[in-house]
A and B are shown apart, each in its own frame.
Chain A
């Protein structure tokens, strides 16, 4: 167990280094000089030169990478060009908003979709199965931003049950905050539960064909006991990997939902910084999200042996 743990953690280190290098190179490819962007169009050439030196842009490119990595490791992600704020606190502030929505949504999507997929698979081709899989395929085909806009139209505008756009932090007013995240969360739950249910169904069908399930039935256990006590763990393991992938990629994909509902989250920060060519923020967001994505996948891998007894650590 210890050896598996260490080797898996160690294998994430080169990945993170290459990810950081990719982000760095990509940012250098963005057209336009950051120093000129920072000072505006009216800056004198001398000022631009001084700024370039101050930002370390006169150094060789390889050295610039190491300086940047050194800064990043000490928590210095640079300063935003447009707002002059420190990038890391800006990212963490926006991240708390996105993370709340993503975690709540993925939790509910899992709790709803995994049992739905398993129950569907248990009676393959039954009316129940057809209903679940048809609904899942339908939700899978609806883009999240359209789903969000349609919910907004029905529950916000027509019925007037929920606020349409905006965000209130949980620390300010818990009740209000809850009202504002209901629609974004439901949107994500509906969209993501489609793929989770399909995956849970597919892996349950595979597990249900195995001999140990027949054996459990032969022992005289009830169907419910066979399903939840024997099939669940093995069937859930592959779905768990998918949930990890969804959790990680939602940190980027949520930009779309944040745009629909005007939520000041991390995805929105990234998109707005791309418009403004605020490259320290773009660089910081990309590194931060990619780092979390690698970490979430690492965590999923580390938990996997606990879920699936067939994979020994």
Chain B
């Protein structure tokens, strides 16, 4: 889009800018503790809700905690939760999807019945229900969001497997005397990588958004540990006194999502040109 105006190929523009933003997020997440000028939990009541100063480069929050340090640790929280959740959803989703698509029959029917039941809920509703079960904690969010997004992975993988299993090379593997397991692991699974990669990038964005929404609702990362969502939630009452407490965490979420969405578009165009519009 913007790329076309500048005469660049869209794919490369999306990949470069999206990739740059995501790289920045990963760097902040990995090196946050070394980059952060202060301890994100240290209170300094004399700096309460102060704007940017030479000590607190991006200001301080309602307890005088350094915003920049909290935002950097927040990046770490968001990235860690998103990566773990995507991994959880992928591992479980690929497992059940391959099982259902390859074995068919009653295994397929049982898995898909449960899967469709989960898909019949709006994503956030399912996540809220699971949060009620697991309680607001870091691991709780990973399991809740992972379970909420797993059904989509199951559907995509099952569809891919069902088309792959009819190919000649899969038949050839069977004829060669390979067991079902070897056929599945060596010949079916590797061919699911493309659709799963496209889905995983998109899912990363959904999960960053859902995690921040849950944390904003008070059902995500519990304070005082900083996450962008719970920083916005605690800042809300101080909206008139300290606008920077609202602007900064939200900006972090929005820029991250923009980067992930652009990278997602690029990955999709690269691996699945049919979907390109």
The residues of A with any CB-CB pair to B shorter than 8 Å are: 15, 18-19, 21-23, 26-27, 29-31, 125, 127, 129-130, 133-134, 137-138, 140-143, 145-146, 149-150, 152-153, 157, 201-202, 205-206, 248-249, 251-253, 255-256, 259-260, 270-271, 274-275, 277, 279, 282, 286, 289-290, 293-294
Q: Is the CB of B113 within 8 A of A18?
A: yes
User: Given contacts A18-B120, A26-B133, could you give 19 more A-B pairs where the C-beta distance is less than 8 Å?
Assistant: A15-B117, A29-B133, A129-B1, A130-B5, A137-B258, A138-B258, A142-B250, A143-B212, A149-B246, A150-B250, A249-B122, A249-B123, A255-B217, A256-B213, A259-B217, A270-B125, A279-B132, A289-B122, A290-B122
- In whole angstroms, what is the CA distance A142 to B252 when docked? 10
- A134 lies within 8 A of B1 (CB): yes
Closest residue of chain B to A18, judged by CB? Answer: B117
Which candidate, B44-52, B55-63, B235-243, is the interface stretch facing chain A? B235-243
Q: Who on chain B is nearest to A149 by CB?
A: B246
Does B222 count as interface, using CB distance less than 8 angstroms? no
Q: Name the residue in A127, A149, A150, A256 with the highest tally of chain B Cβ atoms < 10 Å from its Cβ.
A: A149
What are some 25 contacts across the A-B interface (CB < 8 A)?
Answer: A22-B117, A22-B121, A29-B133, A30-B132, A130-B4, A134-B1, A137-B1, A141-B258, A142-B250, A142-B254, A152-B239, A157-B239, A249-B123, A249-B125, A252-B123, A252-B124, A253-B213, A255-B124, A255-B217, A256-B217, A259-B217, A279-B132, A289-B122, A290-B120, A293-B122
Which chain A positions have C-beta within 8 A of B130?
26
Are A274 and B1 in contact, with the CB atoms below 8 A? no
Is B223 in the interface zone, CB < 8 Å from A? no
Bound-complex Cα distance A152 to B253 (A)? 18
Bound complex: CA of A145 vs CA of B120, how far in Å? 25
5 closest A-B pairs by CB = A146-B250, A249-B122, A252-B125, A18-B117, A141-B258
Report chain A residues within 8 Å CB of B2.
Answer: 130, 134
Q: For residue A290, which residue of chain B has the nearest CB?
A: B121
**Interface: B270 (CB within 8 A):** no
Q: Does B131 contact A (CB under 8 A)?
A: yes
Known contacts A18-B117, A30-B132; is-contact A153 B125 (Cβ 8 Å):
no
Nearest B residue to A249 via CB reads B122
Measured in the bound complex, the distance between the Cα atoms of B128 and A253 in whole Å is 10
When distances are taken between beta carbons in the complex, the residues of chain A under 8 Å from B213 are: 143, 145, 253, 256
Q: A205-B277, A270-B128 are in contact. Are A140 and B261 (CB under 8 A)?
A: yes
**Is B209 in contact with chain A by the CB < 8 A criterion?**
yes
CB of A256 within 8 A of CB of B218, answer no
| Selected contact of A19 from candidates B117, B212, B217, B262, CB within 8 Å | B117
How far apart sit A294 and B120, CA to CA, in the bound complex (Å)? 6
Given A157-B239, A286-B129: A275 and B250 interface contact (C-beta under 8 Å)? no
Report B149 CB to chain A, min CB distance, Å. 13
In the bound complex, CA of A277 to CA of B129 (Å): 11
Q: Return the contact of A275 from the options B133, B209, B218, B233 (Cβ within 8 A).
A: B218
